[in-house]
Amino acid sequence: MKFLRKKLDQIAPLFEKGGKFEKLYPVFEAADSFLYTPAHRTQSGPHVRDVIDLKRMMTMVVIALLPCILWSFFNNGYQAMLADSSYGLAASDPISMDVILQASWIGFRVFLPIYVVTLAAGGAVEGLFATVRKHEINEGFLVTSMLFPLIVPASIPLWQVAIGIIFGTLIGKEVFGGTGMNILNPALTGRLFLFIAYPAQISGEVWTLLPKDPALMVDGHTGATALADFYTNGAAAIQHMNWMDAFLGLTPGSLAETSTLACLIGALILIGSGVGSWRIMLGSFLGMVGMSFLLNSMAPSPDHYMAVPWNWHLVVGGFAFGTVFMATDPVSAAQTETGKWIYGVLIGVLTVLVRVLNPAYPEGMMLAIIFMNVFAPTIDYYVVKANIKRREKRLGIQ
């Protein structure tokens, strides 16, 4: 590592002001900061600071994502093996270590191209804007580039991946000024664009790539997701499903949204490190449970979609993943403590409302988060205003 540090220091003058590659300084600085802690020091007086900075915060989010990433490797490969009759594997068969290793390798081969395209296309936009604005490439894209591949189907065409992440990075973040200035979650913005522009590939039935030749996107098996099955068959679909399988994530879906257990592990890491807001997570859960009970009480029959209980809303679709990793985005979420409760509860409420009452879209987590991203500043405004009024009243100021 000392050798690498020495080489980076040797070529640094080429990218600094007056150097041959001065315009490429943001790209060099991004690589240097990713490998090592920046050597910059404050020029003015001392500042009281927390021990965590943006780089450490984003790194902690990536660490929290690892359980979901590793599970996505296995489950997507496992679903592909179940769909390919040549493997002779049935869902009722015990999962051996050989199956785990083989399935994980298949899933990794599916994930890697999507991730590489995300890095290349989104990174190009980040680098372009950093060069034009003459500032450093922020670490925020490290998380965006990791989140986006995890919320798309395994069968998504790579050109759509490029379009989605470019749109999300450009419209969801850069037009607002870059990392820390955006009002929308960039990864969700890109996925929302793909859902609107290419609904056949992004929602409804999910294609599982078969392991014979992952490059052939048509060589696969299609099947309805659990939420689509719920909407078609109502609560009666529960009779043909296993709750524990859904909790563990042994179901088809987007790359990393299926395992609630993996999301809970990530939640513990984020809460324990102080990076993720437990108020938003708990508020989203309580909102989902409350709205589920309300709709259950109005269900016309026990088999109606409105009768689906809260514990199933928790483990199907992207509720757990969205609650832990998307709703808690420190930039686009509410900032005040009371506002976080309101923000989280409304996300849970809207998710169930969209799922149950919208026949065109069985999943509601993405729309709920994006919608509340827009209203987060308004929530904070009225929370602060109420606090000011309360203090003025206590001080006797009219």
Residue 227 vs residues 126, 291, 293, 305: alpha-carbon distances, Å: 35, 17, 18, 10
In the chain, what are the domain boundaries? 7-35, 54-387
Residue 356 predicted with pLDDT over 60 = yes
Among the listed residues 250, 258, 253, 256, the one whose alpha carbon sits nearest the alpha carbon of residue 90: 250
Among the listed residues 270, 258, 260, the one whose alpha carbon sits nearest the alpha carbon of residue 107: 258
Task: Summarize the confidence of residues 364-382 as an average pLDDT.
Answer: 92
pTM of the full structure: 0.80
Residue 354 predicted with pLDDT over 60 = yes
Q: Which of 4-8, 44-48, 240-244 has the lowest mean pLDDT?
A: 44-48
Percent of the chain with pLDDT over 90: 33
pLDDT digits (tens, 9 = 90+) for 128-164: 877 777 666 666 677 888 899 998 888 888 999 999 9
pLDDT value of residue 67:
94
pLDDT value of residue 170:
87
Task: Summarize the confidence of residues 24-36 as an average pLDDT.
Answer: 59
Backbone Cα Rg of the chain: 23
pLDDT digits (tens, 9 = 90+) for 285-337: 999 999 999 999 998 888 777 888 899 889 888 899 999 999 998 888 999 99
More confident residue, 109 or 211: 109
